[in-house]
A and B are shown apart, each in its own frame.
Chain A
Amino acid sequence: MTVGYICRYTPVKLLESMGVECRRIEPGYIDNEVAEALMHPNVCTYVKGVLSEVVRGGYDGIILVNCCDSARRLYDVLKNAKKDMMVYMLDLPRKSGDQAVAVYTGEIKKFVQAFADFYSKEFNVQDFKKYISIEKNAEQNNRPKMRKGISLAIMGARCSAYLVDLIKKAGADEVLNYTCTGDLLEYPPLFDKSAREQEMIEWYAGCLMRSIPCMRMADIDRRRDVLKDIMANVNGIVYHTIKFCEFYSYEYSYIKDNYHFPILKIETDFTSDSEGQLMTRVSAFVESLRGRDEIRKTLRKSGKKIVAGVDSGSLSTDVVILDEDYNILSYSVMPTGASIVESADRAFSQAIEKAGISRDDISFVVSTGYGRINIPFADKQVTEITCHGKGAYFLNNGVRTIIDIGGQDSKVIRLDDNGNVVDFVMNDRCSAGTGRFLEVMAKALEIPLEKMGEEAQKATEDINITSICTVFAESEVISLIAQNKKRADIVKGLHNSVASKTIGLLDRIGRKGAYMMTGGVAKNRGVVEAIEQKIGEKVYVPEEPQIAGALGAAILALQE
């Protein structure tokens, strides 16, 4: 029989010693139809995934712990929906003192009894002792090993095996999982071999409750001690949060505020959606950790005279062709459309044609952007973070902060005096404050995207677009249209909304001039002005703001 569980405080080993297969539920998808019919869109995405998976079937029982609000309601909903199997929830105290351990011991005993009754199984303390001894020996092999290359710790909310793999694929040599799904947090002490059932369960409850606490627990001082150890042993931390789970944002804020240690915050819905964006961010983070010197070393190779950079973005594909003296021979900007490969081909051909050369003249191609791994003719892939930094610094070496608002994401990149990327932030999955946001709104307002900047100049009234989310903002815009508000005023309100979102992002890494704005949205004078007004400083916009990434890629190609 197979029992599903979600929390590491679940007395799994006790069940396993009874011959029960315990499977930690790692949902790969969310069935929104099920999740929203039984719960609500705004519960934790992991819990929605678990609900989807359990409803689909494959489990003989579900053992939960009242770890969070969403899990508690998952219990209530499953209990009501799955009457044919055991749905049980253990009441786990948040403290770990003797009285709390006694309470949890009582809970576990009650659970074992209920489980044994429901499935006609027997708990035998000798079997449990035997099982624990075998398990303990196996665990010795799971400790952190010697550090080699770039070593990253993943902290925060539970992470899936998929996420660990993604971080490895993004270039990390070693990934240590310090979330509750990793096995790096438990250090069970020895037990007394003559212990009887009550003492053994008490011992086990103590082991569970006194391991390194998760953020749901009340006393988390030990997490802070562990944090120091982690920082001493890795190059950087990938801090994971799950949508609609807030426990961990507090710890992220604490680390960011108190330590100057490389940390990258990522938010997922626990499934494998948005892989492209995650990969870009983690790869850029790894690249920044490797250090510019090392990158230079690997890039240095003798080359011929002409190179190209291709930036395959979500809305446009841009190509820049450079000669060995860093002269831009030509560039092209094409809509990406449905096929990354085709649009890259078209943009590349157009740029070659403009430069009056043939494909064979190009000795090296670096691709960047969302689609960078799928450009068949590229020799190397580099993330757009590094490329934007490179391109922007080339265009104006006084720039220390780059604000790049593209079709699908917006980012702020901080450069040091030598043009190296030293920090960056990027929006999460949602498209608020990006080119896509403006595109949706332009459609709602029936105005061409490129005319928005001009239209905003005619504004006479201040309208505050308060919704942060693209979907909600669209309905807000529709309400404003219904209220007969002037289009110019709404457009200006939208520009201010994008600027606010951008400033929020900027303030996460701090303000430092001079500023440059790149990406398609930089062509919208209204947004640039709104940002300038908010930061009280001029923002430099290059002649063709969309090609900064491709230019950076071409410069990197030249250095090969």
Chain B
Amino acid sequence: MRWIKKSVNDPEKVRKLVVWGLMAEHVFFSLFGDKHVPKSFNYLNKIGVEFVLSPLVHSDQSAWVNLFAPTEILHAMDIYPLCIEAFSSFLVGFQCEDVYIDYAQRFGISDTLCSYHKGFIGAALTDLLPKPKFMITSSMLCDANISTFRYLSWYHHVPMYSIDVPFEYSSQSVSYLEGQLREMVKMLEQVTGKKMDEDKLKEVIKRENKTHAYMNRYIDVLRYKCHPTTLTLEMYMLFVTHTFMGTQQTLRFFEILMDEMESFPDSKAKRVFWVHIVPFYPHGLKRYFNYSQHYEVLGLDLNFDYLEEMDCDNPYRALAIKMILNHGNGPYQRKIGSIMNIIDRLQPDGVIHFCQWGCKQSVGGMMLLKQMLDERGIPFLALDGDGADRRNHHEGQVNTRLEAFLEMIGKRERCL
């Protein structure tokens, strides 16, 4: 990690270090894996590393995307997506996020911007990342998406497409979005020289439907079964529920998971449903939730933000509908409705809302969610911090809040 920090001005060297590090991790999870977690989660770890590694190694066939980009289109065209939020998380894993964040801020980027964006901007400006062929961002959820991608597209002279996702669902808004997706594909074809085969896109959507069906079953089983996992793996789930949705690997992961899940013991833990991202590095959080039999994180709401059956015969329209009806898009009441629905299915003992530094769209509505949970008598905790910059995390404060919350929902003494 220190090597990376010391070599910020030698991007080639840092890139090699990052690629070697990821390859070593890939080998580890292919051969051994983490004995404390089920087979499926080791497979998830392996493919997660692959997902980040491929666009770095094959940058001439890669596209930078945000978490909510319709990557199904890229999978159908065999283009490797590099999700910027995921890469920033890896910078945290390599413990070098601070130098890249500072680098971006020195360029004038606001210090209150989401650290996932700042880290990635810093990495892009230092040339740590090889230039991609294309960039795709959607406007949904987060203001920073279009701004960050536009900035990087200018800086690197790489073409990009901004997808404007309307707030409300209507036939007009769906057509507006569908038109944009078709326009984007034309642009992608021109830039990459690859042709879109619509049958392949339909196949991707079919796999997505199968995955959604598995995920719905997963939720039903999760209500009773214990699933020993880690916070890191909960974040890895975002790979399969978003950027790599519709791929063979994702489908395979859920197949293995469902095969295993039935044989897991019934859960006796106190269980928490997590809203928004979860930082995977804080010691206190790891101590309570990683592999724990006593406290479990049932999942992140982000991983269940759209689970509907999609019309695979009209893939563009289906993708447009999926984006508009994502629970994070539209009024906050939609998100509350979706979270309450999952909560009804999972019956957690409490809900933790993580207030990510710079994420106004989530923190701004938090009190509305709290109000609704209060009405239902479900304990709620808000934790402030930063999943992508250790410097904005305050261990003592987070631990005090967390422990008090766990005391509140009971069973803390067993863990100690």
Contacts and interface: CB of A to CB of B under 8 A. Distances in A.
B219 interface: no
B45 interface: no
Contact of A249 (B113, B331, B390): B113
A69 B361 contact: yes
Residue from the set B106, B179, B358 with the largest chain A CB neighbour count within 10 Å: B106
Contacts of B395: 479
A39 interface: yes
A249 B391 CA distance: 21
A128 interface: no
Given A73-B360, A94-B162, A39 B367 contact: yes
Contact of B139 (A218, A246, A500): A218
A246 B146 contact: no
B143 A216 contact: yes
Given A94-B162, A249-B109, A73 B361 contact: yes
Contacts of B176: 93, 99-100, 102-103
B364 A69 contact: yes
A93 B144 CA distance: 16
Interface stretch (B62-70, B163-171, B205-213, B236-244): B163-171
Contact of A218 (B164, B166, B332, B391): B164
A466 interface: yes
A472 B384 CA distance: 12
A42 B108 contact: no
A68 B360 CA distance: 9
| Prevailing SS type, chain A contact patch | helix
B112 A246 contact: yes
B355 interface: yes
B113 A76 contact: no
B394 interface: yes
- Residue among A215, A243, A466, A500 facing the most chain B CB atoms (10 A cut-off): A466
A504 B172 contact: no
Interface stretch (A133-141, A253-261, A389-397, A413-421): A253-261
Contacts of B332: 72-73, 76
Nearest to B144: A246
Given A75-B331, A76-B368, A103-B166, A249 B108 contact: yes
A77 B364 contact: yes
B105 interface: yes
Nearest to B168: A91
A247 B392 CA distance: 21
A475 interface: yes
B126 to A, nearest CB: 14
A218 B140 CA distance: 12
A99 B179 contact: yes
Contacts of A68: 143, 360
Contacts of A265: 108
Interface residues of A, number: 62
Contacts of A219: 162
B172 A66 contact: no
A80 interface: yes
B150 interface: yes
Interface string A525-560: 000000000000000000000000000000000000
Contacts of A467: 391-392, 394
Given A102-B172, A256-B108, A42 B146 contact: no
A241 to B, nearest CB: 7
A74 B391 contact: no
Contacts of A37: 367
Nearest to B361: A69
A102 B150 CA distance: 25
Contacts of A500: 102
B386 to A, nearest CB: 11
Given A66-B167, A91-B166, A72 B108 contact: no
A76 B329 CA distance: 12
B340 interface: no
Contacts of A479: 394-396
A91 B180 CA distance: 17
B32 interface: no
B240 to A, nearest CB: 26
**Interface pairs A-B: 5 shortest CB-CB:** A73-B364, A253-B108, A466-B391, A249-B110, A69-B361
Given A42-B384, A73-B365, 5 more contacts: A39-B364, A72-B331, A219-B162, A265-B108, A479-B394
18 contacts: A40-B363, A69-B359, A69-B360, A72-B332, A91-B168, A94-B162, A99-B176, A100-B176, A102-B172, A103-B176, A246-B113, A249-B109, A250-B150, A252-B108, A254-B154, A479-B394, A500-B102, A508-B106
Interface of A: 37-40, 42-44, 47, 66, 68-70, 72-77, 79-80, 89, 91, 93-95, 99-100, 102-103, 106, 215-216, 218-220, 241, 243-247, 249-250, 252-254, 256-257, 265, 466-468, 472, 475-476, 478-479, 482, 500, 504, 507-508
Interface of B: 98, 102, 105-113, 139, 141-144, 146-148, 150-151, 154, 162, 164, 166-168, 170, 172-173, 175-176, 179-180, 331-333, 355, 357-361, 363-368, 371, 384, 390-392, 394-397
